[in-house]
Amino acid sequence: MKILKILLSTLFVFSFSSSVYAIDKNLGDGWCSDVRIHFFAGGAEGDGFAGIVQTGAENAIRDTGADAEILYSEWQSDRMIQQLREAIGAGVDGIGMMGHPGDDAIMPLAKMASEAGILMMYQNVDVPAVRAAYGGGYVGANLATQGKELAREAIRRFDLKAGDTAIVMVPIGDYSRAQREDGARIIFEEHGMNVVVLDGTPEQATDPNLAIPVFSAALAANPDTKIIVHDGGQKLGNAEAYAKAAGYGPGELLQIGFDTSPQIMTAFENGYVHLTSDQQPFLQGYLPVLALCQMKVLGTGALNQDTGAGFVHTENYKSVMELANAGLR
């Protein structure tokens, strides 16, 4: 009996080893072509931020061969929830979901996706309670940390003092998303600065010109304002329009925020943007698609990646300008 057990064990190892060595280590072109994915770019097609996320996703789709559809939501959380519900109903294999609607709104749909065997990745805004309950990875910056560090860098770089006035635009109705800008507010207030909070809306992210009268009114009411914190790359890229509408020239009003884009590079060149925190939206498009393919085809775990990449400012922006103008940064 002992000899039989040894023989059976040997046969099992040989059989298992043979099956492993029979697998081709080269996945080859189109290795993810049988995997259906719905991917959320967040905003409108080609907008200042979503356009770079879109480019990242398109590159990942090309590189993996995934059968993927890119969805656009114009930064509307209710639309994202409806599109998520439809994606689950369509029975896709994986979903790359923007986390803007937050834990409470996404939780019941994440449960449905989990029960249906649909793999999930989240990008741009984290939903830690959802991921703890039903799995999935996150690709994006740590928003609260990113906002606080931006404010600290601005205080250091621009020698901001207690009593200085800052205007901070915060998407008040969407705290999952707003914790970044609120982090900047917290640090400025701890530094003793006067902070004027403006409410940022998804409509302004889709069309940044809608915020021109909002900023003009706030600056007229607070003429001693030293610095503005914008709540997204779309508005930061429109900084020149905001300044000129309120009667400010180049370098007369500090404007800072998040992301890089061709519009932001132009604003740096023209003296209207002075500091931005780069969260590498290309990776927020590329990595979730890649991760969903790996999870489905290879059985790997979910990917978690902090895409915060430090600061771009007036002294180094030219080093990323070529990639930003190409829609890759």
Domain ranges of the chain: 36-141+280-308, 143-277
| CA 32/CA 204 separation, integer angstroms | 37
Can you read off the two tokens belonging to residue 11? 């046969």
DSSP state of 254: E
User: Would you call 94 helix, strand, or coil by DSSP?
Assistant: strand
| CA 40/CA 267 separation, integer angstroms | 28
* Strand bridging mode 275-277 / 311-313: antiparallel
Can you read off the two tokens belonging to residue 49? 């931020």
Instruction: Say how many CA atoms lie within 13 Å of 180 toward its Cβ.
Output: 28
Neighbours of 324 (CB within 10 A): 22
| CA 168/CA 180 separation, integer angstroms | 11
DSSP state of 210: G
Please tell me if the domain spanning 36-141+280-308 has the same topology as the one spanning 143-277. yes
Neighbours of 86 (CB within 10 A): 12
Phi and psi angles of residue 48, each rounded to the nearest 5 degrees, phi first: -55, -35
Can you read off the two tokens belonging to residue 211? 């915020």
Residue-level pLDDT at 24? 61
CATH of domain 143-277: 3.40.50.2300
**Exposed/middle/buried for residue 89 (C-beta within 10 Å: 0-12, 13-18, 19+):** exposed
**Exposed/middle/buried for residue 179 (C-beta within 10 Å: 0-12, 13-18, 19+):** buried
Do residues 192 and 165 touch, judged by C-beta distance below 8 A? no
Closest CA to 140 of 40, 261, 267: 40
**Exposed/middle/buried for residue 315 (C-beta within 10 Å: 0-12, 13-18, 19+):** exposed
Closest CA to 265 of 319, 220, 211: 319
Interior angle at CA 261, CA 255 and CA 265, nearest 5: 60
Do residues 218 and 167 touch, judged by C-beta distance below 8 A? yes
| CA 306/CA 309 separation, integer angstroms | 9
Interior angle at CA 62, CA 57 and CA 66, nearest 5: 80
Q: Which helix (H) or strand (E) holds 48?
A: none
CATH of domain 36-141+280-308: 3.40.50.2300
Residues 6+ apart with CB under 8 A from 284: 53, 56, 123, 124, 139, 140, 307
Cα→Cα distances 219→161, 205, 210, 223, 274, Å: 19, 20, 16, 5, 18
Mean pLDDT by 10 residues, the chain (329 residues): 38 36 70 98 89 96 98 95 98 98 97 98 97 98 95 98 98 85 97 97 92 98 98 94 98 96 96 97 97 98 94 96 91
| CA 296/CA 294 separation, integer angstroms | 5
